[in-house]
Structure 1
Amino acid sequence: MDLCWHRRDLRVTDNRMLAGRNALPVFVLDEAVLEHAAPPRVAFMLDALESLREAYRERGGNLLIERGDPSAVVPTLAAEFGVDTVVWNHDYSGLARERDEAVRAALDERGINHEQYHDAVIHEPGSITTTDGDPYSVFTYFGKKWLDRDKPDPVSAPESVSDPDDPGGIPALSDLGFEAPEGSVPDAGPDAAENRLETFCDGPIRRYEEDRDYPSRGGTSRLSVDLKFGTVGIRRVYAATENAKAEAGSKEERGSVEEFQSQLAWREFYTQVLYYHPNVVTKNYKTYDGEIEWRTDEEGFDAWTEGKTGYPIVDAGMRQLREESWMHNRVRMLVAAFLTKDLLVDWREGYDWFRKHLVDHDTGNDTGGWQWAASTGTDAQPYFRIFNPMTQGERYDPDAEYIREYVPELREVDPKTIHAWHDLDDEARPDVGYPAPIVDHAIRREVAIETFERARGEE
């Protein structure tokens, strides 16, 4: 019997640490991890644990729940149950790697065997490098190699599952010191994940390239939370996309499937960046000759968080985040660009807000996305290419369907008026309780460029 320590792999099938084993499955509620958590993610995690426990019960076993420091809990459980080996799947953030090293050291001290597997990614960090053996800092080359390489098939389920006498209870959110999430949280667990995957691959994936940037079309997979918590295996996801590509009826449909597959590659690219540069959580990846003169703008930041900037597409996104603990990817780019360029607020403040409110917060993806928008990251948006939030709204939400769904003040306002909101004076702007723009984008664009040029030593 092997002790199988779950973390971000809350499923029984297509889980490399479980494949073919006689498993004693364990989940440890780690206080150090919970310190960095937030209500939406903890709520989803607890629901996923309920689903995982039920899956083990269906196999005649149970999930053991413990709370405490894994470096103390895991070796103690291993000794208590007399297991042959302790196994777990790798995680890649700096905090996770420090935790895992502490567990390895504690197991070594007690002479307990242990094994680890790369499960959350298809191609592990360090397996795709430059000809010199260095990790890529540009996605294009990494992505091409990622797409060209053979992909492993989903792995088998465990042979058997132990049923401990006292498996422990799954706590309520309040027991862990968290209040209820402000927004809704999606259904959790492998069944819910499989439903999302099948729904996406049955249709939207074939229009993904065309629809993915339009938030009102529902063209994205919504699988980010499942990949974050491992309620679906990445090999299972890739296999489903390959089936969808094989069933595609045209070159365009196949191209759309491949575009989605490239997004899976982006996810692993950012995982690799985090693995080799764990300080990207707090430090700029790209260095400038001088410091970027970020502003302290409490009023602007508050308006941004509340969805009251007077830029409709930005506000729709920020309100969607509050309502659903999730935001459409194109809009994530726009709200991040607005905060870091129009308001010149440090990307770390935006990252921290997302960390507290996103149910699918993933350290690698989110630091990558924020540093991309802030022009401080690897393969980032050039500092002089600054999204215009009004033209972006008009292009990707032309009928203002998305905007009017999340900004109720504008539901009776004509789309042309919504997209011209920044150009209207106070008399022409309808009095519907929605604010005028808090900044002039054209002016702030020039200020941002000048600020970054000073940081580059060009002034």
Structure 2
Amino acid sequence: MRLHWHRRDLRLADNRGLADAPERPVGVFVFDEAVLEHAGASRVAFLLDAVGALRAAYRERGSELLVRAGDPASVVPNLAADLGAEFVSWNRDYSGLASERDERVDDALENVDATPQKFHDAVCHEPGSITTNAGDPYSVFTYFGRKWRDREKDDPRRIPETAPAADLGVAPGAIPTLSDLGFDAPAAEVPAAGTDVARTLLESFLDDDVYRYEESRDYPAEECTSRLSVHLKFGTIGIREVDKRVRDALESASGERRESVAEFRSQLAWREFYTHVLYFNPDVVTTNYTSYENPIEWENDDDLLAAWKRGETGYPIVDAGMRQLRAEGFMHNRVRMIVASFLTKDLLIDWRHGYEHFRDLLVDHDTANDNGGWQWAASTGTDSQPYFRIFNPMTQGERYDPDAAYIREYVPELEGVDPDVVHSWHELTPTERANAAPEYPEPVVEHSERREQALSMFERARGESD
């Protein structure tokens, strides 16, 4: 018998660890307290739903998903011993903490004579397989992306035969509630989990939106996104399955439609690029990827940080994004870049504060992708936005939400306000603001002034000024 330890692969289909190892598997999911310490209520709620959907899929096949809680280094070997499992398989994770955990489980399995079997599943190409000509990992996406695009991909994996539940002889274990795990009900509306849900989203996206993705993806009111990020994060759908379907769409399209599909596929490559970066640079979660000659002198004003978190900065596109995050546990990608730039370049607050807030509230939080995005915006990461290119939040709002439809959806104080007024909010007099939207705050900072301060801050860090 083989025990398969599910982590970020909460599915049966296209699961390399399940399909590629010998012996019929029985699955287990362990609620790891060390992981839950870094999780928010919305993400745990999605996780619980995904575990429930996975258990149902096992049971449909006459098998079982065992559920346990505790330290995997104790739980997994003990369960393997109880089952008499010869093998324990799992799919690799790529953060430093995950690697350390997996090494402890690996060592503990020696004591119960169970052989570990580890697989690369969450990415098409494992870290170290796409490198420079000198054999080094890439720090620039462009070159990585070209090789990723042209490298042959594996086909999706079949669903294996699973071990009959009647043969197990151990209790399946109950799926805990949020309260059991120490979480209150999330404030956000959490999307449904499971492979069926993910496949429905994928089908819907490939029916239409993928062919207008290139021209519409930056406009949050148009909702031209796949919403697959949370499913790829938790592995309720496999990356090979998604990429195969996208490649099929690419091959059948031409002209602008083909370019649009290719643009979406490049986002899959970006996801993988940041995973490789994290694998080779585990400290990047808490430290700058790019070194400056001097420390960056972040101001870290607590009141400004609180206003940003509440979505009360007086910059409409920023506030809309932060309120969408609180309401849905999600934020449109263009808006993620805008709010991150605003925090680091207008409020002069360390990117780590923003990363932690996103980690707490995002349902689709992914360590590699979120860290890569935040450090890009802060001009401290790989392929970073140059420090002297600073988003103007008002220009960004006017360009990507010209009718203020997205803004007014999440900022009800601006409901019915003319878009021109919304996009010129920073230029209005106090009387004009009071007449237009008396409940909406005035800007907490002046963008042009803060831009100059940001430039000076980074020039000092670079050793270019006193």
| TM-score normalised by length of structure 1 | 0.99
Question: Where in structure 2 are the equivalents of 1:127-146 lying within 5 Å?
Answer: 127-146=129-148
Return the alpha-carbon distance in structure 2 between the equivalents of residues 363 and 296 of structure 1.
22
Paired amino acid for 1:432: P
Q: Do residues 186 (structure 1) and 188 (structure 2) align? A: no
Q: CA deviation at 1:333?
A: 0.3
C-alpha distance after superposition, 1:269-307 (max 9, x if no partner): 000110000011100000000000001211111110010
Q: 1:82 aligns with which of 81, 84, 91?
A: 84
Q: 2:30 aligns with which of 28, 31, 46?
A: 28
Return the alpha-carbon distance in structure 2 between the equivalents of residues 353 and 407 of structure 1.
20
Contact 1:59–1:161 (CA under 8 A) maintained in structure 2 = no
Q: Which runs of 4+ in 1 moved over 3 A?
A: none
Paired amino acid for 1:216: A
Q: CA deviation at 1:111?
A: 2.9
Partner of 2:268: 264
Return the alpha-carbon distance in structure 2 between the equivalents of residues 346 and 231 of structure 1.
33
Q: CA deviation at 1:161?
A: 3.0
C-alpha distance after superposition, 1:208-247 (max 9, x if no partner): 1011100010111100000000000000000111122233
Q: CA deviation at 1:108?
A: 2.3
Aligned residues: 458
Q: Do residues 438 (structure 1) and 444 (structure 2) align? A: yes
Q: 1:125 aligns with which of 114, 127, 138?
A: 127
Contact 1:209–1:255 (CA under 8 A) maintained in structure 2 = yes
Q: CA deviation at 1:14?
A: 0.5
Partner of 2:331: 327
| TM-score normalised by length of structure 2 | 0.97
Return the alpha-carbon distance in structure 2 between the equivalents of residues 327 and 140 of structure 1.
25
Q: CA deviation at 1:425?
A: 1.0
Q: CA deviation at 1:396?
A: 0.4
Q: Do residues 240 (structure 1) and 245 (structure 2) align? A: yes
C-alpha distance after superposition, 1:388-411 (max 9, x if no partner): 000000000000010010000101
Partner of 1:46: 48
Q: 2:214 aligns with which of 190, 205, 209?
A: 209
Paired amino acid for 2:461: A
Contact 2:49–2:194 (CA under 8 A) maintained in structure 1 = yes
Return the alpha-carbon distance in structure 2 between the equivalents of residues 208 and 355 of structure 1.
26
Return the alpha-carbon distance in structure 1 between the equivalents of residues 176 and 252 of structure 2.
44
Q: Do residues 289 (structure 1) and 293 (structure 2) align? A: yes
Q: Which runs of 5+ in 2 are unaligned?
A: none
Question: Where in structure 2 are the equivalents of 1:59-74 lying within 5 Å?
Answer: 59-74=61-76
Return the alpha-carbon distance in structure 2 between the equivalents of residues 17 and 161 of structure 1.
15
Q: Which runs of 5+ in 1 are unaligned?
A: none
Q: Do residues 351 (structure 1) and 355 (structure 2) align? A: yes
Contact 2:80–2:112 (CA under 8 A) maintained in structure 1 = no
Partner of 1:380: 384
RMSD (Å) for aligned C-alpha atoms? 0.9
Q: Do residues 338 (structure 1) and 342 (structure 2) align? A: yes
- Secondary structure of 1:95's counterpart equals helix
Contact 1:56–1:161 (CA under 8 A) maintained in structure 2 = no
C-alpha distance after superposition, 1:365-384 (max 9, x if no partner): 01100000000001100000
Partner of 1:447: 453
